[in-house]
Amino acid sequence: GIQVEQSPPDLILQEGANSTLRCNFSDSVNNLQWFHQNPWGQLINLFYIPSGTKQNGRLSATTVATERYSLLYISSSQTTDSGVYFCAVSGSYQLTFGKGTKLSVIP
Amino acid sequence: NAGVMQNPRHLVRRRGQEARLRCSPMKGHSHVYWYRQLPEEGLKFMVYLQKENIIDESGMPKERFSAEFPKEGPSILRIQQVVRGDSAAYFCASSQGTASYNEQFFGPGTRLTVL
């Protein structure tokens, strides 16, 4: 099956700092999604981005499908950005999740 | 627009009891997926259903676990004779079409604790 690797596994940021999270995957995919799991455990959809670039407020994402990676950019981080960020990919219909990047934003 | 609904949000069972988890997909979505998140692990696919059909249950344990998505009503994930290792967060997702080219939207999850 498809392998998904996320880096870094842990990240601590000062409030206001920027960050880049990376997701590498082992095979061609039809679906790539980024999620934020907040401290209450809820999974929030951030981006559906099998290719190209999208932006939503302080967040943006880029997927280079031919090189099998995706990047999630967080600018001007806030404490509410804390949590775990998951990348998930699919070649058919079942999403395969990476192990996530645990982000802690400190005031 | 209501999102994916799951209930209960928290469920406590003693070993040997049955657990029933319910999922109502987003309006207009006819594809439902169940995932499990064990403590300190990522999310793993369990089963994919369409109305009245199980399409893929390759991620579901062979024993004690079953899933259905009837013509009317929510999708149900049923765990019989629960054991402590079943303690996890169970998430349901739905999509408008087959998830190969459609975004999956997740519910808030059901946190199962087995005593």
A45 touches chain B (CB under 8 A): yes
Dihedral angle, C-alpha B104, B33, A37, A44, nearest 10 °: 30
To probe the interface with A, which of B33, B40, B44, B45 has the most A CB atoms within 10 Å?
A: B45
Q: What's the whole-number average pLDDT of chain A?
A: 95
Closest CA–CA distance from residue B108 to any residue of chain A (Å): 5
pLDDT score, position B1: 53
Which distant-in-sequence residues (6+ apart) come within 8 Å of A65 by Cβ?
A: A28, A29, A50, A51
CA distance linking residue A71 with residue A22, whole number of Å: 5
The mean per-residue pLDDT over the stretch A8-37 comes to 96
**Beta carbons of A95 and B102 less than 8 Å apart:** no
**Is residue B42 very low, low, confident or very high in pLDDT (cuts 50, 70, 90)?**
confident
Closest residue in B to A29 (Cα) is B100
Least confident range of A72-76, A92-96, B8-12, B49-53: A92-96
CA–CA distance, A64 with A53 (Å, rounded to integer)? 9
| Average confidence (pLDDT) over B13-25 | 98
pLDDT reading at B100 higher than 80? no
pLDDT of residue B99: 59
Q: What percent of chain A has pLDDT over 70?
A: 100
Q: CB of A30 within 8 A of CB of A90?
A: yes
Cα Rg of chain A (Å, integer): 13
Burial A78-89 (b: 16+ CB within 10 A, else e): eeebbbbbbbbb
Give the pLDDT of residue B102.
83
pLDDT digits (tens, 9 = 90+) for B71-99: 999 999 999 999 999 999 999 999 987 75
